[in-house]
Amino acid sequence: MPYFHLVFTLPQLLAPLALQNQKLVYHLLLRAAAETLLQIAADPRHLGAQIGFLTVLHTWGQNLHHHPHVHCVVPGGGLSSPGSRWISCRKNFFLPVRVLSRLFRGKFLALLQNAYRKGQLHFHGALAGWAEPSQFARLSKQLKKSDWVVYSKPPFGGPEQVLTYLSRYTHRVAISNSRLLSLRDSQVSFQWRDYRDGQTKVMTLSAVEFLRRFLQHILPAGFVKIRHFGFLANRSRRDKLAQCRQSLSCIQDTISMTPPCKADHVCPVCGTGTLRIVEWLAAVSVLQAAGLSQPVSMDSS
């Protein structure tokens, strides 16, 4: 089963507001990303399944600038609405990023406007003008017109790659020691990757500026930056994972017990067409989907 990696990014225009309201805005970012994935995946026009995933908040870019975004690791499928069978996504494709982007924008802005109406947002310094209703409305209008970035990375090669990714990035800080090159004359030099051209470069900052950039990525005390949703949510994880394992086991057992179809298998109806296998369905899954717990009796008596 493939595992997909999606990234939801907050527009740079909102980064200063997030820095002044870290606990609230980061929570809204994680919530909007999660609700977007759950809603689009449940839509029959896309996957039509209840998915499960984990999210990890990062607030930095390679150059240590403030760049809030959420990484999501998602198994390539989910449970049908009754939870009776496993629905797999298409090969190397999970959900359309354009649809995700638009819904993510709408959900986050709705949450942000609600927080503004309740007086939960704080505006200081250069952002003081945004406290005025007319200014905040202008900001919201500008954000609605812009494209929000949702990026779908190539799927992981398997569970081993997922574990490798999580072990490296879930508890990392803004910069690792291996990227630090020197500290001379109150100047700090470090390596960074410029994703515009894919080149690794060296950046030198004053020690004060380096510390300023680094410290803005320290999260508020008690903030939970790794969260689980869907069938991985804490409240229902045990039961939902049991359903997933049972559904996946039924699919695997059916495939392993069914002989492969010959390429020249002729259609018994028309006598000329060639039958091709599209999907194997476990008998128990079909019965459960139809609301039947026992096989239908064919006894005419």
Cα–Cα distance between 224 and 220 in angstroms, integer?
9
The pTM of this model reads 0.79
Q: Is 215 exposed, middle or buried (0-12, 13-18, 19+ CB in 10 A)?
A: exposed
Per the CB < 8 A criterion, the answer to whether 149 and 9 are in contact is: yes
Q: What is the mean pLDDT of residues 267-284?
A: 62
Q: What is the mean pLDDT of residues 257-261?
A: 44
Cα–Cα distance between 19 and 222 in angstroms, integer?
16
CA distance readout (Å), 57 to 7, 26, 190, 277: 10, 8, 23, 42
Position 83 confidence tier, pLDDT thresholds 50, 70, 90:
low
Q: For residue 169, which of 272, 69, 253 has the smallest C-alpha distance?
A: 69
If one compares 264 and 102, the residue with the highest pLDDT of the two is 102
| Residue 162 backbone phi and psi in degrees, to 5 | -60, -45
In terms of DSSP H, where are the helices of the chain? 15-20, 22-42, 97-117, 133-145, 159-169, 207-215, 237-257, 283-289
Cα–Cα distance between 13 and 126 in angstroms, integer?
13
CA distance readout (Å), 169 to 78, 190, 199: 25, 19, 21
Position 251 confidence tier, pLDDT thresholds 50, 70, 90:
low
- pLDDT at residue 129, as a whole number: 95
* DSSP reduced 3-state for 52: strand
Least confident of 145-159, 230-244, 276-290: 276-290
Q: Torsion angle of alpha carbons 117, 119, 122, 124, nearest 10°?
A: 80
**Which tokens in the block code for residue 38?**
């759950």
The identity of residue 112, as a single letter, is: L
- pLDDT at residue 282, as a whole number: 52
Per the CB < 8 A criterion, the answer to whether 250 and 289 are in contact is: no
* Confidence check: pLDDT of 118 > 80: yes
- pLDDT at residue 238, as a whole number: 83
DSSP classification of residue 288: H
* Confidence check: pLDDT of 262 > 90: no
Q: What radius of gyration do the chain's Cα atoms show?
A: 25
Residue with the two structure tokens 């942000």 = 112
**Which tokens in the block code for residue 29?**
């970012």
Position 188 confidence tier, pLDDT thresholds 50, 70, 90:
very high
- pLDDT at residue 180, as a whole number: 95
* Confidence check: pLDDT of 189 > 70: yes
- pLDDT at residue 135, as a whole number: 96
Least confident of 14-28, 32-46, 67-81: 67-81
Q: What is the mean pLDDT of residues 253-265?
A: 46
Q: What is the mean pLDDT of residues 31-44?
A: 96
Q: What is the mean pLDDT of residues 121-139?
A: 96
* DSSP reduced 3-state for 280: coil
**pLDDT tens-digit map of 204-242:** 999 999 999 999 999 999 999 999 999 898 888 888 888
- pLDDT at residue 45, as a whole number: 92
Residue with the two structure tokens 């939960």 = 120
Q: What is the chain's mean pLDDT, rounded?
A: 85
If one compares 112 and 235, the residue with the highest pLDDT of the two is 112
The identity of residue 1, as a single letter, is: M
